[in-house]
Chain A
Amino acid sequence: MKNNQIIAILAVLALGAGFTTLALKKTKPAAADGKYGDGAAHREEAGEQMERGPHRGRMLREGNFATEITIFETGLPPQFRVYFYEQDKPVDAAQVKLTVKLKRLGGRSDVIQFKKEGDYLVGDQTIYEPHSFEVKVTAERGGQTHRWQYESPEARVELSPEAEKASGVVVETVGPAKIKATLKANGRVVPNEDQMKHVVPRYPGVLKVVLKRLGDKVSKDEVLAAVESNESLQRYEIKSDLAGTIIEKHAVPGEFVSEGEAIFIVADLSSVWVDLNIYRQDAARVKTGQSVMIDGGDGFHKDKGTIAYISPYGSESTQTLLVRVALPNPDGEWRPGLFVTGEILLEEVEVPLAVKASAVQTFRDWTVLFVNEGNFFEPLVIKPGRSDGEWVEIVSGLKPGMRYVAENSFLIKADILKSGATHDH
């Protein structure tokens, strides 16, 4: 009986121990090793695989020899600084001949040569942003050549062709374009002062006959009125010595007129002037000879002219300059007194590299385009030049033939930023 009891107790203990180990071995439910969060976590994983050296750079190893590649950008434009190790002991950098080739999206590549500086080699080029490239490293030391190659993508997104199509992303090729720089100005149609005559009686007298009314067309030497001179008491005729239109009349029969007082103004409206007001900050860019598109608005017609005259002095109250365009007006469509707007073509240049204005985005502190290669998109820092609202000249950062996102470029920016792209080398 006693023995049985002891055996039973031992059996219970053994069973208990068994179950306990079982329970301890069974880890938490399978879901625990399920998927990680997106983006950040994956990068973290990748980061763990990448070995970091003493200077927080990427360690490349082959045998006992190791190269540590860092990008130094504190207070300087970004540059490569490379350290070398033999069995994890620093090696004099002068012993190594190093070449680094960077291949970027869109078929660009930079070859960087190095020279010694302190205990490291420093690259001879600024590594421009973004730091996203495929890196080929060749290091020669003591007759041995080591080669490494690795991808260092940054701010890069992948978009399947279907997604690209569905979301309306349009990719175009960089090429030349005509860029028009224009300036809009407000102005007014005025009669051509060279073709305007004030008709003045030669002797004071009484107007006897007035033959023309306001708006009447007159030909050269046509009689406008007759005046009885006070001096001779003779009638004499007043003639227009200009073919044109009567635009002003101060003449009623029986009225006394004197010399020096215009009774008619005759203007030849077959050409008119457009006086445009140019604000002072634009004055420097406006030159005589520039072509101007004059728009009457409200159904009036448009015409092209050139700047004939720029006033040598400005208006004190408005701080504007007068710029004059002479326009032919055979049909009398340009009616003096009406307001018009003029678009001055400041310059028209054919630039070798231009992109659609809708392609340009700001990204971090840069002005960028998004370049495309295959399914990948990546920002490219550019320096924009002249623009006319439709096209933007690219001064630097771009090569002809590159493919860039011309429309819906915001989507690419949004996609890069949403995953919280890191800035990590």
Chain B
Amino acid sequence: MLERILSFSIKQRWMVLLASLGIALLGVLNYNRLPIDAVPDITNVQVQINTEAPGYSPLEAEQRITFPVETAMAGLPNLDYTRSLSRYGLSQVTVVFKDGTDIFWARNLINERIQEAKSKLPPGVEVAMGPIATGLGEIYMFTVEAKEGAKTADGNAYTPMDLRTVEDWIIKPQLRNLPGVVEVNTIGGFVKQYHVTPHPDKLLAYGLSLHDVMEALARNNANVGAGYIERNGEQYLIRAPGQVAGLDDIRQIVVSNREGQPLYVRDVADVLLGSELRTGAATENGEEVVLGTVFMLMGENSRTVSERVHSRMAEINRTLPAGVVAKTVYNRTDLVNAAINTVKKNLLEGAILVIVILFVLLGNFRAALITALVIPLSMLFTITGMVGSQISGNLMSLGALDFGIIVDGAVITVENCIRRLAEEQKHRGRLLMRAERFDLVFDATKEVVRPAFFGVFIIMVVYLPILTLTGVEGKMFHPMAWTVIIALLGALIFAVTFIPAAVALFMTGKVSEKENFVMRAAKAMYRPALNLCLNFRGAVALGAMVLVVLSGVAVSRMGSEFMPSLDEGDIALHALRIPGTSLSQAVEMQHLLEKRLKEFPEVKHVFAKIGTAEVATDPMPPSVADGFVILKPRSEWPNPKKPKVELVSEMETAVKKLPGNNYEFTQPIQMRFNELISGVRSDVAVKVFGDDMSVLQEVGEEVEKALGSVSGAADVKMEQTTGLPLMTIALKRDVMARHGLNVSDVQEVIEIALGSKSAGEVFEGDRRFDLVVRLPENLRTDIEAIKRIPIPLPPHEESGATVTRSVFASKATARNAPSYLPLNAVATIHIAPGPNQVNRENGKRRVVVTANVRGCDLGSFVQEAQQKIQEQVKIPAGYWTAWGGTFEQLISAAKRLQIVVPIALLLIFLLLFMTLGTIKDAILVFTGVPLALTGGVAALWLRDIPLSISAGVGFIALSGVAVLNGLVMISFINKLRSEGKPLDEAISEGSLTRLRPVLMTALVASLGFVPMALATGTGAEVQRPLATVVIGGILSSTALTLLVLPVLYRMFHSRDDGSEATRSTSVIASAPSSAA
């Protein structure tokens, strides 16, 4: 089979070359279609169900909304788990589906269930699903600001309300319909509202109620259409506009008529532009701003979409009123470009290094060029493959590509051809004829194609187990495994088609049989070393074993972490305040914080979202701020070499001095992923489940104490679920009964007076604003004034005892005028702390204690923490704990790898057995794996890099490469022996002959990764462990192949007597031809 391909390639060489060119062109075309991103998207399939419940306290939101919604979601097909959060005015249920579930299908199902649940929900609440976006979705953020001294059309300075109006009605409509944009979420500023604020005293004086005002507004603000009339052949449409057009129109609305005298709204109330009761604010550099976040549709290409948004933003800026600017504060393109540049640089430098080595070791420029051509060819092939299988180009997928490994197969083939050509030319004393050359190339390639093919195939196969990973680590590493497999597949195809064709066609000149001085020097050193090793076989074998044991010991002492995290360049800084902190207080505190941060010369700008935005994609109470610290490019830093960790710790020290804030430092994308994946924003989380909020609180506090005592723990805190000051207006039912009042009568007054109630909308062209009624601001915030809010009493029967003091008195008050009671006559007001939020997971209440891990690996941290909690915390019956946070992934990945890695090793062994035909030789080659790992471990240990999944993937790749070299060497020695050479001679001749290809493959593979191991750019920290492992491992595996393998071969085969040796080797020798 392989031989047929080889002969076909040589025969149809031009066609093969053309086909290769075609593949290359296809790759170039596809390059523009390749989605590019910084990191793979690791968000699970989830749908957020947000229900706005204006005015609901956390307990009521849980009881009346969250519970019914959560219950309705139970039993959905493909459901993984649900979690929920109930807070002031908001209920959010997050439904997480199993991986691979179609999001649109899931949303449909949820929609159905929501419709079913609606009947159980209180009237007036709106249930909505969150945007179809992932953790990578927040790609672009901008602020809307007024330039200094800018004035509005009527000559005033821009207010936050004006800016919000610009955002809502000019910017947002232009962005929302861009392809790839799913949502523009706004936070900050004030939504403009028309406020009618009646004075209770005046209402009382005129004998009116809030309700009368509401009704008057509602009845004087509508347009009607009245069909049409026909007249003289024409048709006139009829409309009777009655909508109010502005403040003055509202003031003119008649509320009542007294003695022929109309009473206008303006007589009893102030009419003004007011602001909503907002749930969130935004700040930038210590000033309040309006902040917009653009969400990218799931599955879109973040670079394309953010570029599109950015260019549209420039256009939008031209449409804004003079003096108002929309300023970009976060653009994902920057990060993506930086990360991709790192990858590009690494790949390019790696490729150049590979070419240089090929040239130096082969000593033949044409041959080096032909081999090196495999690099761009397989790269372009890979791009086509990635586009075909919808893998995005990012740090993980492109990061694992090593051109050294990719060209291994080609190197072995070309090297053998060169060697044979040189020998043949020397033998014949002339250049070869075309036909001779073709035959020889066929022969030479045939000689090594089987080990080379199987070797590369083994590398491919070892990546397959990665594809069995699931969950986050699956999403993280699948693209990488696929990319490498596609690249290897490409290289494999080119090695058996393009290489023979090109060599046959172009290696026409004289091939010097004399090796260049590099190879000569290498051989000169290798020969005595090999002899020495062969003499001290026992010591060498034992030494190898000792090394393996040693690396085992080293591994056990090494730390581990899930993933080295990508340095996004920017810092996300959570500022947490005590529950119950008011929004305006939080804004004040954030101002101080931002001013302090801005003093750092490295900081470009700081901005923050406080509380919850318009769409509750990330529901936070006003006491929490998501801050973003955008750093200047390193070149503008006073000390460009300053490590980011150091900067972060300096910032932490500085901001810790500000009173009243607690902090968590993380990074924008990382933060979003953490939020979405487990609902928890930190590395490690201990969840306590149970019924009673206060017991949960107590257990949580103990867990917090235990966790805080573990070394490496940082930012340990318990999610504060209580402490929200609650003002309860408790109605006195007996008093109300005496006056004939209903509960709802009083509640309505409270609702209108304090919370505000909509009485319609005011239209300004296309813009529409709510028209609401509520008390004047100075009265709403004054508890004494609240106590005196008049509650109208139902009409009372006229009684003779009523004192009429004068004629005037009876005239001034209209008959049947309602009488009033102050609120505190029918209710008591008390203020006490209440629950701040209620969290549930899988239908059970829970509290969470979170911790970040600094300067210590996650694995050992969790181990210590688990032990401490077991010893120190008593958990009552009916309550239980569970662990979460990113470490969850580490454990599930570790478990899976425990199964998958042995399977991979078994697979390698099986393939070896298939190639070599004997278990003995298969074991021999297989010994390469542990020794190769030794080098990897040593390299990690030397560079002080903890074990991580990245490093694990490196080990997997390494096993493949290690086996490839061993395979080539052993099959060559076997071939020599089958030709009748005695054991010792076969070993030393075989080893010496294979020195060059082994060195070449090893050097190209390790040097190809060197730029990656040393890189410092954005995203380099993700690739570093992988590259380090491969380099270290390949160095040790080369030493093994060259020195230990011959020794082991000698030991394994020392008891073969002549006949046996001949028999076994003949079997081996015949194997390739029979398979071909």
Chain A complexes with chain B: yes
Q: B770 interface residue, CB < 8 Å from A?
A: no
Q: Is the CB of A248 within 8 A of B708?
A: no
| A32 interface contact, C-beta 8 A | yes
Number of A-B contacts (CB under 8 A): 202
B712 to chain A, nearest CB (A): 6
State which residues 118-167 of A face B: CB under 8 Å. 157, 159-160, 163, 166-167
- With A23-B554, A32-B855, A44-B709 known as contacts, the answer to whether A163 contacts B205 (CB < 8 A) is no
User: Among residues 646 to 668 in chain B, which have CB atoms less than 8 Å away from a CB atom of chain A?
Assistant: 656-662
Residues of A within 8 A of B708 (CB): 36-37, 39-41, 44
Establish whether residues B825 and A317, one from each chain, have CB atoms under 8 Å apart when the complex forms: no
A395 within 8 A of B: no
CB-defined contacts of B898 to chain A, threshold 8 Å: none
Bound CA–CA A280/B592 (angstroms): 48
Which of A12, A157, A281, A413 has the most chain B CB atoms inside 10 A of its CB? A12
Which residues 558-596 of B sit at the A interface, judged by CB distance below 8 A? 559, 576-578, 581, 585, 588-589, 592
Q: Which residues of A contact B820 (CB under 8 A)?
A: 318
The answer to whether A418 and B578 have CB atoms under 8 Å apart is yes
A5/B536 contact (C-beta < 8 A), A163-B659, A418-B661 known: yes
Contacts of B782 in A (CB 8 A): 389
Which A residue sits closest to B725, measured CB to CB?
A362
A281's contact among B592, B739, B824, by CB below 8 Å, is which?
B824
Could you tell me the distance between the alpha carbons of A281 and B829 in the complex, rounded to whole angstroms?
A: 15
Stretch at the interface among B4-12, B150-158, B803-811: B803-811
**Chain A stretch 1-59: residues in CB contact (< 8 A) with chain B:** 1, 4-5, 8-9, 11-13, 15-16, 19-20, 23-24, 26-29, 31-41, 44
Complex Cα distance A389/B781, Å?
Answer: 12
Q: Is the CB of A414 within 8 A of B809?
A: no
Q: Are the CB atoms of A41 and B539 closer together than 8 Å?
A: no
A337 → chain B closest CB, angstroms: 5
Q: Given known contacts A41-B708, A411-B660, is B825 in contact with A281 (CB within 8 Å)?
A: yes
Q: How far is the CA of A13 from the CA of B659 in the complex (A)?
A: 61
Binary contact track A303-334/B, C-beta < 8 Å → 1, others 0:
00000000101011111001000000000000
- Cα distance A169–B855 in the bound complex, in angstroms: 36
Tell me the minimal C-beta distance from B509 to chain A in angstroms.
48
Q: Shortest CB–CB separation between residue B206 and chain A, in angstroms?
A: 8
CA of A8 to CA of B860, assembled, Å: 39
The residues of B that contact A188 with a CB separation of less than 8 Å are: 205, 809, 812
Say whether, besides A12-B539, A191-B808, A316 and B801 are in contact (CB < 8 Å). yes
Which of B287-295, B519-527, B541-549 is the contact stretch? B541-549
Closest to A5 in B: B538
Q: Is the CB of A414 within 8 A of B577?
A: yes
Q: How large is the interface on A (under 10, 10 to 19, 20 to 34, 35 or more residues)?
A: 35 or more
Does B691 count as interface, using CB distance less than 8 angstroms?
A: no
Q: Chain B residues near A297: list those with CB within 8 A.
A: 201
| Contact assessment for A279 and B659 in the assembled complex, using a CB-CB cutoff below 8 Å | no
Q: Which of B26-34, B715-723, B876-884, B905-913 contacts A (4 or more CB under 8 A)?
A: B715-723
Name the interface size band of chain B. 35 or more
CB contact between B855 and one of A31, A341, A415 (< 8 Å): that residue: A31
List the B residue with the shortest CB-CB distance to A41.
Answer: B708
Cβ–Cβ < 8 Å partners of A27 in chain B = 557
Q: Which residues of A contact B788 (CB under 8 A)?
A: 184
| A32-B538 in contact (CB<8A) | no
Q: How many Å from the CB of B536 to the closest CB on chain A?
A: 5
Given A4-B536, A166-B592, A419-B662, are A40 and B824 also a contact pair (CB < 8 Å)? no
Is the C-beta of A417 less than 8 angstroms from some C-beta in chain B?
A: yes
- With the chains together, A275 CA to B546 CA distance in Å? 105
List B contacts of A184 (CB < 8 A): 788
Residues of B with C-beta under 8 A to A336: 808
B723: A residues at CB distance < 8 A: 417
A186 to B207 Cα, complex, angstroms: 12
Does B159 have its Cβ within 8 Å of any Cβ on chain A? no
Taking CB atoms, residues of chain B closer than 8 Å to A5 are 536-539
Tell me if B803 and A34 are in contact (CB < 8 A): no
Chain B nearest CB from A53 CB (Å) reads 19
**In the bound complex, what is the Cα–Cα distance between A190 and B810 (angstroms)?**
11
Q: How far is the CA of A337 from the CA of B259 in the complex (A)?
A: 14
Cβ-defined contact, B557 with A12, below 8 A? no
Q: How far is the CA of A8 from the CA of B38 in the complex (A)?
A: 52
Complexed CA–CA distance, A315 and B851 (Å): 65
The distance from the CB of A131 to the nearest CB of chain B, in whole angstroms, is 18
- Our pick among A12, A29, A41, A159 for the contact of B546 (Cβ within 8 Å) is A12
B546 near A417: Cβ-Cβ < 8 Å: no
Chain B residues whose CB sits within 8 angstroms of the CB of A256 once the complex forms: none
Contact between B659 and A11, CB atoms less than 8 A apart: no
Q: Does B856 contact A (CB under 8 A)?
A: yes
Q: A19-B550, A362-B831, A417-B578 are in contact. Are A317 and B659 (CB under 8 A)?
A: no
Consensus secondary structure, chain B interface: mixed
Nearest B residue (CB) for A21? B553
Q: For residue A193, which residues in chain B have a CB less than 8 angstroms away from its CB?
A: 805-806
Cβ-defined partner of B806 (8 Å) among A15, A191, A415, A419: A191
User: Which of A34, A275, A411, A413 lies in contact with B854, CB distance below 8 A?
Assistant: A34
Question: Known contacts A318-B793, A414-B581: does B803 contact A20 (CB below 8 Å)?
Answer: no
Q: 1/0 contact trace for A261-295 toward B, CB 8 Å?
A: 00001000000000100011100000000000000
In angstroms, how far is the closest chain B Cβ from the Cβ of A372?
Answer: 13
CA of A166 to CA of B588, assembled, Å: 11
Determine the residue in chain A with the shortest Cβ distance to B714: A37
List B contacts of A169 (CB < 8 A): 659
Judge whether A412 is part of the interface by a CB distance below 8 angstroms: yes
User: In the assembled complex, how far is the CB of residue A37 from the closest CB belonging to chain B, in whole angstroms?
Assistant: 4
Residue-wise interface mask of A (180-210) relative to B, using a CB-CB cutoff of 8 A (1 in contact, 0 not): 0000101010110100100000000000000
Contact of B717 among A13, A168, A311, A420 (CB under 8 A): A420
Give every chain A residue within 8 A of B801 (Cβ-Cβ).
313, 315-316
Q: Which of A38, A168, A190, A311 has the most CB of B within 10 A?
A: A38
Query: Is residue A65 within 8 Å, beta carbon to beta carbon, of the partner chain?
Result: no
Cβ of B964 within 8 Å of any chain A Cβ, yes or no, is no
- Chain B residue nearest to A160 in the complex (CB): B657
- Say yes or no: is A236 at the interface (Cβ < 8 Å to chain B): no
Q: Nearest Cβ distance between residue A312 and chain B, in whole angstroms? A: 10
B678 interface hit (Cβ, 8 Å): no
Contact partners of A44 in chain B: CB under 8 A: 705, 708-709
Task: Answer yes or no: B944 CB below 8 A from chain A CBs.
Answer: yes
Bound together, the chains give a CA A34 to CA B202 distance in angstroms of: 66
Interface contact A411-B812, CB-CB below 8 Å? no
- How many whole Å from B198's CB to the nearest CB in chain A? 14
Chain B residues, Cβ within 8 Å of A26 = 557
Given A8-B538, A28-B559, A415-B659, CB of A337 within 8 Å of CB of B812: yes
Nearest residue in A to B585 (C-beta to C-beta)?
A: A410
A420 & B704 in contact (Cβ 8 Å cutoff): yes
Q: 1/0 per position for B700-734, CB-CB distance to A under 8 A?
A: 01001100110111111110000101000000000
Give the shortest distance, in Å, between A408 (CB) and chain B (any CB): 9
In the complex, whether A72 has a CB less than 8 A from a CB of chain B is: no
Cα of A196 to Cα of B807 in the assembled complex, Å? 12
Q: Is A85 an interface residue (CB 8 A)?
A: no
**Given A15-B546, A41-B708, A339-B592 contact (CB < 8 Å):** no
CB of B856 within 8 A of CB of A34, answer: yes
Whether A418 touches B577, Cβ cut-off 8 Å, given contacts A20-B553, A32-B855, A40-B716, is yes
Whether A36 pairs with B711 at a CB distance below 8 angstroms is: yes
Verify A414–B549 contact, CB threshold 8 A. Answer: no
Residue-by-residue, is B803-837 near A (CB-CB < 8 Å gives 1, otherwise 0)? 10111110010000001111011000001010000
**Cβ-closest 4 pairs across A and B:** A31-B855, A414-B660, A16-B546, A8-B539
A selection of 12 A-B contacts at a CB cut-off of 8 Å is: A19-B550, A24-B553, A28-B856, A41-B716, A44-B705, A163-B657, A169-B659, A190-B809, A311-B803, A362-B831, A413-B578, A418-B578
- Give 13 A-B pairs besides A41-B709, A163-B657, A337-B812 with Cβ atoms closer than 8 angstroms: A12-B546, A16-B546, A29-B559, A32-B856, A36-B708, A188-B809, A196-B806, A316-B802, A318-B820, A319-B821, A336-B808, A418-B576, A418-B577
